[in-house]
Chains A and B, each alone.
Chain A
Amino acid sequence: MTNYILRRLAQAIPQLFIISIILFVLMQAFGDPIATLGGRVPPRPEDKERLRRQLGLDQPVYKQYFTWLVGNDWQKIDMDGDGVPETYGKRHGVLRGDWGNSLVTRQPVLRMIGERLPNTLLLMVTAEIVIIIVSLALGLYSALRPYSTFDNLVTGLSFVGYSMPVFWLALMLMYIFAVNFRRWGLPYLPTVGMYDPQVGKTPWELIKHMVLPVTTLAVISIAGYSRFVRSSVLEVLSQDYIRTARAKGLRAMFVVLRHALPNAALPFITLIGLDIPFLLAGAVVTERIFAWPGTGRLFIDHTERADFPMLMGILMLISIAVVVFQLITDVVYSFVDPRIRLE
């Protein structure tokens, strides 16, 4: 097991290197970050030149990548533009824990992401819990009554859910539960942000603000997952050991919950484990619509400014999360399913 984990990690490292190179190359030709700096007064050309030198943007791409990766604090750089390197670099590089500073706010990238990450995780974890519970329930119920009216209805609805653009669902939910409920004098839900500034940061406010974004995120995943649970429960129910359990005279409910569900849930674990990091990405649109101050919105806001240290930071952290979750999923799977041997 230890060997397996070590070998997987050894495979993951080159993969992350390839990802970082692809992303860095894409970033470089992303647009000139200097051009968007400076706010209303456009900086003078010589200021731009100096800024570019200080940020190391005048270097060739491979040197910039190298600086991003391992830093430049052992080499002298030419800061004042006279062609003589005189100042030592200040960067330590990602491999030594320095993810650089945002070009827009000049604050460390990691700290800025760290401030937003809890908000995104709060949304994600809640949505994931809702997704797991609802899709297990729907899938199980459909599988126990295959081709019934309920099953057909859920199948049809899941196709609709699966085909629905996230923003369309979000706008419809907002239109019905916020705009129209308010118009009809019913208790309505808030649409943007995490708290109402007039009420303050109370837990109840937070819950109210989470209902619509969590529903939006959950509905689309539930549509796909409930079909998946249904087909794996159906497959398990046709197995010999289920027939045996029934023949022994066990209660139907006990057979389903104790014998069928755990076996059917095994592939579901893999699916969820592999999908969790991608939920982070799926939140980009949702966070934008609901003005939720998470990492997705951070990404969008800084894309417009071509803030590449920030974008690299967010994308690399998500890529690391994807790789780590792949490994965790495999390991957890081998624990819950003793038939799987990781060699």
Chain B
Amino acid sequence: MAAITPETLSTDVIAKPSAPLSPLVLGIRRFRRHRMAMIGLGLLILLMLYISFGGLFARGYCTPIDKNLSGEPWSDCNDLSLKLKPPSASHIFGTDVVGRDIFARTIYGGQISLMIGVSAAIVEVVLGALVGALAAYYGGWVDSILMRFTEAMLTIPNLFLLIIGARFFGGGLPDFKLFGRELTGSVVVIILIIGATSWMYLARIVRANVLSLRERDYVSAARALGASDSRLILTHLLPNTTAPLIVSATLGVANAILAEAYVSFLGLGVQGSTATWGNMLDGAYRYLDTAPWLWFFPGTLILLTVLGINFVGDGLRDALDPYSTRHL
């Protein structure tokens, strides 16, 4: 055995004063030790690969317009002679009621579903943070009005609000283009409705957090230095509630994807030829026994996505909450 001298010791064995670990590094470490979160992350990465590169494999010969198509036009090619065909080599997930390739539609629908999920979660977080922070910061009658409103919204079951909202705003917006893709206005409607019906819990969490932060010395100091209300809220109070915001936003994406699926399942979701995982399921239950591939593939993709996001959200909750010691 070689003699141990200071020179042979590798540098990281010697205890040297290292830089203090930032909360971010600690958080990432805790997250990486969370087994389920890592499984969820892996699942999500696979799904992202599926919806981003799966399109490369979606191609075929579209008989009605007599052309070889690939990418999104292929997902919209409806060949009525091929309707409700079971999975086969040319259509690995089968075809839908108007003869479109389900495999291609799950890919492009997945992109829209995820976009709806993420955008709705952003709307939710902005609304929730705004209502919660304003209520807690100003207190008094602002607080009571906002919180009574929040309570009232919480009392009405979410799905009913979604259904009414979808009817209320449905079809009111024109089609638009995004990243070169034609999208129906109902995509925006669905995003706004899901965001507008899901911010209530977040508002309560933010309010409770800001209430406890408001009286801290650093806030008084900032106020004494002449910081404006908006500066206090945006740079001193809200950044200190980042952890619950991130966790809620993550879980919000999962809930928004589910909400889109429910609303679409009831026939009130995204309209037109734009595919989403939700509206691929619209009416599919009528083909329960004759064409199970209609609902099985989009439904399973929703399940896997929501599962992955929930795993990651659970991991983030444990990683970002310094008081939580679960799963460690």
Contacts and interface: CB of A to CB of B under 8 A. Distances in A.
Contacts of A281: 157-160
A287 to B, nearest CB: 11
Interface stretch (B72-80, B92-100, B238-246, B285-293): B285-293
Interface stretch (B44-52, B127-135, B181-189, B297-305): B297-305
A268 B236 CA distance: 37
Contact of A174 (B165, B288, B300, B302): B288
A167 B299 contact: yes
Contacts of B307: 159-160, 163
A285 B152 contact: no
B155 A323 contact: yes
Contacts of B310: 159, 162-163
B266 A164 contact: no
Interface stretch (B6-14, B22-30, B254-262): B254-262
Interface string A311-336: 10001001100110000000000000
B168 interface: yes
B137 interface: no
B306 interface: yes
Contact of B149 (A18, A164, A167, A284): A18
Contacts of A156: 36
B120 interface: no
A300 interface: yes
A285 B159 CA distance: 9
B299 A165 contact: yes
Contacts of A282: 157, 159
Given A30-B167, A174-B288, A175-B288, A23 B299 contact: no
Contacts of A153: none
A39 interface: no
Interface string A20-56: 0011001101110000000000000000000000000
Which of B156, B284, B310 counts the most chain A CB atoms within 10 A? B156
Contact of B159 (A165, A178, A191, A284): A284
B175 interface: no
A179 B281 contact: no
Interface string B300-328: 10110011001100100000000000000
B36 to A, nearest CB: 7
A29 B302 contact: no
B159 A29 contact: no
Interface size class, chain B: 35 or more
Contacts of A26: 164-165, 168
A20 B261 CA distance: 27
Contact of A322 (B36, B155, B268): B155
Interface residues of A, number: 46
Contacts of B296: 171
Given A26-B168, A168-B300, A285-B262, A318 B160 contact: yes
Contact of A167 (B168, B285, B311): B285
A23 B156 contact: yes
B153 interface: yes
Given A168-B303, A171-B299, A179 B288 contact: yes
A277 B154 CA distance: 12
Contacts of B288: 171, 174-175, 179, 191
A285 B299 CA distance: 14
Given A14-B148, A30-B164, A285-B266, A319 B155 contact: yes
Nearest to B167: A30
A288 B164 contact: no
Given A19-B152, A167-B285, A318 B157 contact: yes
A171 B314 CA distance: 28
A315 B167 contact: no
A280 interface: yes
A278 B266 contact: no
A84 to B, nearest CB: 35
Which of A171, A174, A311, A319 counts the most chain B CB atoms within 10 A? A171
Nearest to A31: B167
A61 interface: no
A18 B148 contact: yes
A175 B292 contact: yes
Nearest to A316: B156
A162 B160 CA distance: 20
A165 B303 contact: yes
Nearest to B314: A159
Interface in B130-153: 148-149, 151-153
Contacts of B168: 26, 29-30
A19 B285 contact: no
Given A285-B265, A322-B155, 19 more contacts: A15-B155, A19-B152, A26-B168, A163-B306, A165-B262, A165-B265, A167-B285, A168-B300, A171-B288, A280-B157, A281-B158, A282-B157, A284-B266, A285-B159, A288-B266, A289-B285, A300-B266, A303-B268, A306-B167
26 contacts: A15-B152, A18-B152, A26-B164, A26-B168, A160-B307, A162-B310, A165-B258, A165-B303, A167-B261, A167-B299, A168-B299, A168-B302, A171-B288, A171-B295, A175-B292, A281-B157, A281-B158, A284-B159, A284-B163, A299-B160, A303-B167, A306-B167, A318-B156, A318-B157, A322-B157, A323-B155
Interface of B: 36, 148-149, 151-153, 155-160, 163-165, 167-168, 254, 258, 261-262, 265-266, 268, 281, 284-285, 288-289, 292, 295-296, 299-300, 302-303, 306-307, 310-311, 314
